[in-house]
Amino acid sequence: MNRSVYWVMALAAGVVVANNYYNQPLLVDFAHTFNVTERAAGSASVAAQTGYALGLLLFVPLGDMVRRTTLFTVTLLAAAAALIATAFAPTLAWLIVASFVTSLTSVTPQLLTPLAAQLAGPQQRGRAVGTVMFGLLCGILLSRTVSGLLAESFGWRAVYGVAAVAMIGIVAMLLAVIPRTEPTFSGSWGSLMGSLWTLLRDAPLIRQTSAIAALQFAAFSAFWTTLAFHLHAIDPRYGSATAGLFGLVGVVGASASTVSGKWTDRGDARGVVLAGSMAMVIAYGVFALVGSSIVGLVAGVIVLDFGVQIGHVANMSRNMGISAGAMNRINTLYMTIRFAGGALGTAVGTFAWSVWGWAGVCATGLAFASASVVVQLVSDRHARPLFAGRDETKG
Q: Does residue 217 lie within any of the structural domains? A: yes
CA dist., res. 48 & res. 324, Å (int)? 30
Is 68:35 a contact under the CB 8 Å cutoff? no
- pLDDT of res. 254: 65
What lies within 8 Å, CB to CB, of 253 at 6+ separation is 301, 302, 303, 304, 305, 306, 307, 308, 309
- pLDDT of res. 325: 78
- pLDDT of res. 390: 40
- pLDDT of res. 323: 80
Which uninterrupted H or E stretch holds 213? Answer: helix 204-234
The widest CA-to-CA distance across the chain, in whole angstroms, is 59
Q: Does residue 395 lie within any of the structural domains? A: no
- pLDDT of res. 272: 87
Is 41:31 a contact under the CB 8 Å cutoff? yes
Q: What CATH number should be reported for the domain holding residue 247?
A: 1.20.1250.20
Q: Does residue 129 lie within any of the structural domains? A: yes
- pLDDT of res. 174: 92
What lies within 8 Å, CB to CB, of 14 at 6+ separation is 109, 135, 136, 137, 138, 139, 140, 142
- pLDDT of res. 2: 66
CB atoms within 10 A of CB 181: 13
> Could you write out the three-class secondary structure of 301-345?
HHHHHHHHHHHHHHHHHHHHCCCHHHHHHHHHHHHHHHHHHHHHH
What lies within 8 Å, CB to CB, of 241 at 6+ separation is 25, 148, 149, 151, 152
Q: Does residue 51 lie within any of the structural domains? A: yes
Of 55, 3, 8, 48, residue with least CA distance to 350: 48
CA dist., res. 30 & res. 46, Å (int)? 14
Tell me, what amino acid is at 354?
A: S
SS3 279: helix
Length of the chain equals 395
Q: Does residue 294 lie within any of the structural domains? A: yes
Angle, CA 316 vertex, CA 187 and CA 346 arms, to 5°? 100
CA dist., res. 141 & res. 253, Å (int)? 10
CA 227, chain centre distance (Å)? 17
- pLDDT of res. 267: 64
Radius of gyration of the chain (CA): 20
- pLDDT of res. 263: 66
DSSP at 179: P
DSSP at 25: G
> Using one digit for the tens of pLDDT, what is the confidence trace for 232-286?
899 888 876 777 778 777 777 666 666 666 666 666 778 889 999 999 999 999 9
Q: Does residue 390 lie within any of the structural domains? A: no
Q: How far apart are the first and last CA of the chain?
A: 29
Per-residue pLDDT 10s for the chain (395 aa) are 567 888 899 999 999 999 998 988 888 889 999 998 888 888 898 899 889 888 988 888 988 888 888 899 999 999 999 999 999 999 999 999 999 999 999 999 988 988 887 787 766 777 787 788 888 878 887 887 888 889 888 999 999 999 999 999 999 999 998 887 777 788 888 888 899 999 999 889 999 999 999 999 999 999 988 998 899 899 888 876 777 778 777 777 666 666 666 666 666 778 889 999 999 999 999 999 999 999 999 999 999 988 998 898 888 888 877 887 788 889 889 988 998 898 899 889 999 999 999 999 999 999 999 999 999 898 876 655 444 434 333 33
Domain of 367? 3-381
- pLDDT of res. 249: 77
Of 304, 275, 250, 254, residue with least CA distance to 132: 254
> Could you write out the three-class secondary structure of 109-167?
HHHHHHHHHHHHCHHHHHHHHHHHHHHHHHHHHHHHHHHHHHHHHHCHHHHHHHHHHHH
Q: Does residue 388 lie within any of the structural domains? A: no
Is 131:313 a contact under the CB 8 Å cutoff? no
Number of domains in the chain: 1
CB atoms within 10 A of CB 265: 20
Q: Does residue 69 lie within any of the structural domains? A: yes
| Dihedral angle of Cα 153, 154, 160, 161, to the nearest 10 degrees | -130
